[in-house]
Amino acid sequence: MENYPGFPEGISGQDLADLLSRQAEIAGAEFRTIAPVEAIRPDGCDYVLTVNGEEVGARVVILATGAIPKKLGVPGEAEFTGRGVSWCATCDGPLYRDKVVAVVGGGDAATQEALYLSKLAGEVHLIHRREEFRLPRVFKSDASSIPRSSCTSPT
């Protein structure tokens, strides 16, 4: 993660997660991996989760269900997932240091991924299927100034 407060040289997402977990444990947090959750009900200011028929109490419940990536459905996508095809630049970006990378998408998420990768990769291609990128105004100037990059859309 680049530009995260307190880490002038940046920090990997995994290293930051490890530090946050350690700090939370020191403060008294208890981490459990439990699944599947069958029900959640309030109990005063707390919550009770039903897991495999057992009740588990919690002050806070964080639903971290993950993001479902949008797949292209093109030949090679499934075959190369995890071997060059990825959906997370911050997770896998360091694997592509000094390499030629293509980011597919035209919204702000794709632009942010391309901006991040431009600091690592040797070259970044931002590929979009429409004539124009769907970006907030603040990202349009960023997208056109990504170092070592090109933006491609149909003509």
Residue from 15, 46, 92, 98 carrying the catalytic annotation? 92
Residue 15 known to be catalytic:
no
3-state secondary structure of 130: coil
DSSP state of 46: E
103 DSSP β-pair partners = 126
Residue from 15, 18, 43, 88 carrying the catalytic annotation? 88
Q: How many residues does the chain have?
A: 155
Q: Could you tell me if 51 and 38 are in contact, meaning their C-beta atoms sit under 8 angstroms apart? A: yes
* Run of H or E residues at 56: strand 54-58
What CA–CA distance (Å, rounded) separates 94 from 120? Answer: 7
Residue from 15, 46, 91, 108 carrying the catalytic annotation? 91
DSSP state of 15: H
Query: Which of 34, 1, 37, 2 lies closest to 18, judged by CA?
Result: 1
Residues designated as active site: 88, 91-92
